Amino acid sequence: MQHCCPPDGREVDRAGEAVLFKALSDPHRLAIVAMLSAAADEICVCNFTSELPLNQPTVSHHLRILREAALVTCERRGTWVYYRLSSDAGARIASAVSSILSEAIAA
């Protein structure tokens, strides 16, 4: 039986990158990240709750996913909790993309 093209076996685990992209695969989480990036500063949870068409538990849920993906960090100050983009968020995303596309995107 003939073949179509020469195979080349590599067994790489893309789970890490997948978790990153999965964290970015929801429109509301993207909105959160975009707000944080645009603000270039920390944002209080109550701001997300008031600006997103979601109830407070749902906002908290999305923030947790972003937290567990290490894309954001939070800090409690008094009654409020403030979130900010992780300092290496952009670098980790760019690294994941270039790891998949095997091309250097970040400078």
Partner DNA sequence: CGCTAATATCGACCTATGTCGATGCAGCAT
Partner DNA sequence: ATGCTGCATCGACATAGGTCGATATTAGCG
Q: Does 10 bind a copy of itself (CB under 8 A)?
A: yes
- Complete DSSP assignment for 71-100: SEEEEEETTEEEEEE-TTHHHHHHHHHHHH
Q: Does 79 bind DNA (CB under 7 A)?
A: yes
Q: Does 76 bind a copy of itself (CB under 8 A)?
A: no
Give the up-direction half-sphere exposure of residue 1: CA atoms within 13 A in the CB hemisphere: 2
Q: Which does 31 bind (CB under 5 to 8 A by kind): DNA, a copy of itself, none?
A: a copy of itself
Closest CA to 81 of 51, 59, 55: 59
Residues lying near DNA in the complex (CB under 7 A): 1, 4, 22, 25-26, 28-29, 44-46, 49, 53-65, 74, 76, 78-81
